[in-house]
Amino acid sequence: MSNKIIIKNQFDIEQMRISGKLAAEVLDFITPHVIPGVTTNELDRLCHDFIVNVQKAYPSPLNYEGQGPKVMPYPKSICTSVNNEICHGIPGPRILKEGDIVNIDVTVCKNSYHGDTSRMFYVGNTSDHAKRLCRVTFESMWLGILQVKPGNHLGDIGFAIQNHAERNGYSIVRDFCGHGIGKIFHEDLQILHYGRPKTGIKLVPGMIFTIEPMINQGRKDVRFLSDGWVAVTKDRSLSAQWEHTVLVTESGYEVLTVSPGMPEPPQFG
């Protein structure tokens, strides 16, 4: 195991429960506002004001430098990735229209700890094929979460996600992955959403990381826009993503990004 992987103590875990709950509650708050005619800028403004003024916290993405050759620090408080945008969609004047799908990705920093989560939203009446992509992506995330327990490996998580997505005719984006999280927004641990069972780092209690598969309706290939942040599908097919922050416990897992309005886990036969 890498020396850089930070195993959380009980105090860290308590703080992460707080931050995770706050992040999920932002998504509860914004849900009724995701309707045809709203701009992604307005969604960002509403979330920013809620995080800062109601939760007394800070939106972690705002002014985040990121890694690699980014053109600028991230300029907004949330990510809004619409239709063929895979991730890091920057809110702006874009107006959401009937039938769009949008991922809203929220990270809240409270007491120096980060909680990170995202959900897919339907804008008005959405096509069955778009809903199927979102559903299979949600199931894939949860199948990955169900592999989280001491003694399992990161490859078990990735394999469960990849197997479900590909069996349903979709492709896994490989340019991005889940990550360790705590006092640092992106810690050393990398959670690939593809892999082979019993490979990779072994899970131990106290690890906290995100599981956030990005799944495309078409090919897995990615193209970056000129801002250096926004990733889109190269073939312009739809993409979906769901994300939770997860703790490895002594006996299994605990999802930390929980709230009253969060979607219930799927029921697997």
pLDDT digits (tens, 9 = 90+) for 3-49: 589 999 999 999 999 999 999 999 999 999 999 999 999 999 999 99
């799944």: which residue's tokens?
A: 215
Q: 101 near 121, Cβ under 8 Å? A: yes
What number of other Cβ atoms are within 10 A of residue 193's Cβ? 26
Q: Alpha-carbon distance 213 to 192, whole Å?
A: 8
Tokens of 25: 């509650």
52 burial via Cβ count (<10 Å: 0-12, 13-18, 19+): middle
- Calculate mean pLDDT across residues 44-55: 98
pLDDT band at 1 (very low <50, low <70, confident <90, very high): very low
Q: Alpha-carbon distance 160 to 164, whole Å?
A: 6
- Angle between helix 128-145 and 154-167 (nearest 10): 160
Residues 6 or more apart whose CB falls under 8 angstroms from that of 129 comprise 217, 238
Instruction: Give the dihedral sign, CA 213/147/182/56.
Output: positive
Q: 94 near 82, Cβ under 8 Å? A: yes
Tokens of 111: 């007491």
Q: 6 near 247, Cβ under 8 Å? A: no
What number of other Cβ atoms are within 10 A of residue 127's Cβ? 12
CA angle 269, 142, 225 (to 5 degrees): 135
Instruction: Give helix then strand counts, H and E, for the chain.
Output: 4, 15
Reference 71, options 234, 230, 233, 236; nearest CA is 230
Residue boundaries of the structural domains of the chain: 10-255
Mean pLDDT of the chain: 96
- Express each pLDDT in 212-246 by its tens digit: 999 999 999 999 999 999 999 999 999 999 999 99
- Strand, helix or coil at 224? strand
User: What length is written for the chain?
Assistant: 269
- When the candidates are 3.90.230.10, 1.10.1060.10, 3.40.640.10, 3.20.20.10, the CATH number that belongs to 10-255 is 3.90.230.10
Quote the pLDDT of residue 186.
95
